[in-house]
Chain A
Amino acid sequence: KAGVTQTPRYLIKTRGQQVTLSCSPISGHRSVSWYQQTPGQGLQFLFEYFSETQRNKGNFPGRFSGRQFSNSRSEMNVSTLELGDSALYLCASSLGTITEAFFGQGTRLTVV
């Protein structure tokens, strides 16, 4: 069974630009969550989607948004990039609720 796939693996963007990251969950998993990891703040929850609906949202500005498609694939978008958005963005998929979460390898975003 294929794991969680995140694309691209690495990105370099300029301040003010926007970026879209993609996540393909494990087949059959309907829940997709996104996390941001930085050295200063650690792992922070961004949002979670289940059956195309956002169920939970973390404490991030509106520049961070996401969506989920009918095949459970998810994208997250960050607009008007700031230097502080440089981070490892991790996607996790789960079969249901209160079950194990399986993570992808992450997308390393660098904002210059």
Chain B
Amino acid sequence: SQQGEEDPQALSIQEGENATMNCSYKTSINNLQWYRQNSGRGLVHLILIRSNEREKHSGRLRVTLDTSKKSSSLLITASRAADTASYFCATDSYILTGGGNKLTFGTGTQLKVEL
């Protein structure tokens, strides 16, 4: 089952603008990861934020995590046409699963960056 929802489901912006995607989840987590997927291909890991972190940066990416609200956001600054893809958040609830790796994915946001 899906861990939660991503909002918006689809987002269309112009090149150079910022894109913000939100993710909500349901259970306690150890970390939250963001992935990008181009046209039904494999997932590319973007960033991991641990449950005791509130904000993390990587290049043009900024991720925030609010565990009290069970939500996270991904900000892509100065978007480029090459950023066009689907973006997924995934939560890792290691303690709850009793050990091992198990990612629970959100529903994804389809981002389209137009020239």
Q: How many A-B residue pairs have CB under 8 A?
A: 75
Total chain A interface residues with beta-carbon distance under 8 A: 31
Instruction: Say how far A72's CB is from chain B's closest CB, in angstroms.
Output: 13
CB <8 Å contact, A33 and B107: no
**A44 neighbours in B (Cβ, 8 Å):** 1
**A92 neighbours in B (Cβ, 8 Å):** 43, 103
**A108 neighbours in B (Cβ, 8 Å):** 40
CB <8 Å contact, A42 and B43: no
Q: 1/0 per position for A78-99, CB-CB distance to B under 8 A?
A: 0000000000101010100111
In the complex, which of the residues B45, B88, B101, B104 contacts A31, with contact meaning CB atoms closer than 8 Å? B101
Total chain B interface residues with beta-carbon distance under 8 A: 27
Interface presence of A63 (CB below 8 A): no
In the complex, which of the residues B42, B48, B108 contacts A90, with contact meaning CB atoms closer than 8 Å? B42
Interface presence of B97 (CB below 8 A): yes
Which residues 29-84 in B have Cβ within 8 Å of A in the complex? Answer: 30-31, 33, 35, 40-45, 48
CB <8 Å contact, A56 and B35: no
Q: Name B residues whose Cβ lies closer than 8 Å to a Cβ of A.
A: 1-2, 30-31, 33, 35, 40-45, 48, 88, 90, 92, 94, 97, 99-105, 107-108
